[in-house]
Amino acid sequence: MNISVESVGLIGLACMFVLMFARVPIAVAMALPGIVGAWYLRGWEPMSTVLDTVVWSHSAHYTLSTIPMFVLMSELIFVSGISSELFDVFRNWLGALKGGLALATVGASAIFAAASGSSVASTAAIGIVASQEMRRAGYSDALGSGAVVAGGTLGILIPPSTAFIIYGMLTEESIGRLLIAGILPGIVLTLLYMVTVYTVVVIRPSAGPAMTRASWRARFVALRSILWIAVLFIVVIGGMYVGLFSPTEAAAVGAVGAFLVALVRRRLTRANLLLSLGNTAKVTAFLFAIILGAFILNYFLAITRLPANLAEFIGGLGWTPLAIMLLILLLYLVLGAIMDAMAMVVITVPILLPTVKALGFDLIWFGVMVVVMIEMALLSPPVGMGCFVLKGVNPRLSMGDIYRGALLFMLPICALLALLLAFPDIALWMPRLMQ
């Protein structure tokens, strides 16, 4: 029986989704249909030779070393104990306002994101302290939970961000420009989250009661905790922005800087160091496996010409570029609710890339849009990872309250997407100024 090349590609994608929903590890679910499909279309010997080349060339890629360095930087900052102190800083400054603790949670998450690069790490680090504090203060569980999981999503948008690195690997775009492109959208989204908190407490004051006002001395003394991350962020991201470091060099500088911060703060015990290295190895292995699985799948899809055929089909519809982009965002919204956010990116970006290029969209801008959609996926029930992380660090919260809070904070993400569609320079202005 003769099966068209395109049909083989569709069957391969269907098999991949079946494996994913059967809880097969993501990397295996992508690589297995790719290997079998390439073998069916090209034969074993040509396929094995190409796959050897694909896996070796990408696993030995110099840029990939950026990921473990930024992950190690995040782990060392976590064990240094700064995360809980960041919440204290914003609590002292904002706690006397209605909804002040929720505002403090968002602010602390944004600062922690500047040294994290991981939404899961940000949610866990800030959520441990903030969620319990807001519960004791009589905050609505939905508002408190929403502030924690929404603030945590900033870790994947504000640089350093592993999502931008993976997107850059898939599209061969400048990772440095992608990281810088996340700064302004990250600031805008932080402000939109705070506006959301303020709006909730104006409508329903009992959802976020004000706390006792801290003294001015306590406020300024607490600011010392921010200096560690501020200096690290300026050196790492600022150095990359002015051309002093490449992204890989900046990641290495960040890891060394975080090591020194933990050392100076006397938190770098043998146990903490081993914990940081062990967690870094686990996260790095997980991400590398996904990346290599994605490249194997992409090779198979390239043989089937599915991405090119999709671009030709969409181009022939006669729709405006804006309408097609809205359709793509709707696709991400649906996929984000039913599958792992990182898997969603590595599967869809290579397929959609020819279409996005044909429509004339800037790939740096599109990368920011994709990462923002990852943030929405982290909040979207039933799979929203940020919601499960918060439940893990504070089991007293119900999943119903967590989901209600998460859905509330999807509104500012939609507002940011609208702003990026209307004003692309929010994402592109800073990358254009890079050295």
Could you tell me which of 117, 115, 103, 154 has the C-alpha nearest to residue 386? 154
Q: What are the tens digits of pLDDT across the range 351-395?
A: 888 889 988 999 999 999 999 998 898 888 777 778 888 888 788
| Residue 343 confidence class, pLDDT cut points 50, 70, 90 | confident
**pLDDT for the residue numbered 2:** 66
Q: What are the tens digits of pLDDT across the range 250-259?
A: 889 988 998 9
**pLDDT for the residue numbered 294:** 83
**pLDDT for the residue numbered 246:** 87
| Residue 183 confidence class, pLDDT cut points 50, 70, 90 | very high
pLDDT mean across residues, the chain: 86
Q: What are the tens digits of pLDDT across the range 194-210?
A: 999 999 999 998 888 88
| Stretch 54-76: mean pLDDT | 80
The pTM of this model reads: 0.89
Q: What are the tens digits of pLDDT across the range 263-303?
A: 988 888 888 899 889 988 988 888 888 888 888 888 888 88
| Stretch 409-428: mean pLDDT | 96
| Stretch 336-357: mean pLDDT | 84
**pLDDT for the residue numbered 422:** 95
Least confident of 53-67, 210-224, 350-364: 53-67
| Stretch 421-428: mean pLDDT | 96
